[in-house]
Amino acid sequence: MLTDAFDTIKFEENTLDSILILKYLYNVHDVFLSVAGLKYGKPIWQLVAEAADRLKIEEFTFSDIIKEVHQINPDVPEISIKSYVMAMAPNHSFSGHWPSARKNHPYFYYLGNGKFKRLT
């Protein structure tokens, strides 16, 4: 999306105008992601789901998901990742605190003792 804009604009290298335009485009891109609720490039629920899909183990813990998400995006806070893991497990007792995620992204099953598995 943003790279498409860069590809269509022809710049003379290292000119003040080109530097200012690129800086402006990056700022617009950051504002767009922030307004769209995509501070981390994707919704956190999606980062969590993709992390679980990359794991090569059937059962996993919060720590497994946190490590996997942080390999892609280390800026996502651990507490946010943990919250989404719980919210995405409808049988977890805390998932009721996040009814939207629980309803729209039922991705995990809580096994107890801090362990989860994918529903599918």
Give me the residue spans of the domains in the chain: 2-35, 44-118
Q: Where are the alpha helices (DSSP H) in the chain?
A: 2-8, 16-35, 44-54, 62-72, 78-87, 99-104
- Which tokens go with 1? 């999306």
The mean-pLDDT minimum among 19-23, 32-36, 51-55, 116-120 falls in: 32-36
For the segment 84-99, the average pLDDT, to the nearest whole number, is 94
35 pLDDT above the threshold of 60: no
Q: Cα–Cα distances in Å, from 20 out to 5, 27, 93, 95?
A: 15, 11, 51, 46
Longest dimension (CA), the chain: 59
88 pLDDT above the threshold of 70: yes
Write out pLDDT tens, residues 52-75. 999 989 999 999 999 999 999 999
44: exposed, middle or buried (C-beta count within 10 Å: 0-12, 13-18, 19+)? buried
Query: Model pTM greater than 0.85?
Result: no
The mean-pLDDT minimum among 8-17, 44-53, 100-109 falls in: 8-17
pLDDT in the model for residue 69: 96
